[in-house]
Amino acid sequence: MDEALAEVALDFSGRPYLIFAGEFGGERIADFDVQQISPFLESLCNGARLTLHIKSYGENDHHQMESIFKALGLAIRQAVSKEGEGVPSTKGVI
């Protein structure tokens, strides 16, 4: 990841929505068209019914993409992990 950083916030709220703030310098990373990142993330949001915010920057497109998916994976793992006996919601229900 080196110089790249990604911040991810998500909510499995049942209301799919994507905010993606990041730019890539090139058009491809190996065989991956970087223009497909937003449609992929939109499909993920719709399929999982989640709201997703991603901010990303970096000098190397590969490192930036790596940081996005690593942060996304960690955020999903944290969101679905059970902690304690209570309901993880400010409203008390999910």
Model confidence pLDDT, tens digit, residues 23-58: 999 999 999 999 999 999 999 999 999 999 999 999
pTM of the model: 0.85
Model confidence pLDDT, tens digit, residues 74-91: 999 999 887 777 666 667
Model confidence pLDDT, tens digit, residues 51-78: 999 999 999 999 999 999 999 999 999 9
* Residue 92 banded pLDDT, cuts 50, 70, 90: low
Domains along the chain? 5-80 (3.30.230.40)
List, as own/partner pairs, every contact residues 66-75 make where C-beta atoms lie below 8 angstroms and the sequence separation is at least 24, other chains included: 66/1, 66/4, 67/1, 67/4, 67/5, 67/6, 68/6, 68/8, 68/22, 68/37, 70/1, 70/6, 71/6, 71/7, 71/8, 72/6, 72/8, 72/10, 74/8, 75/8, 75/9, 75/10
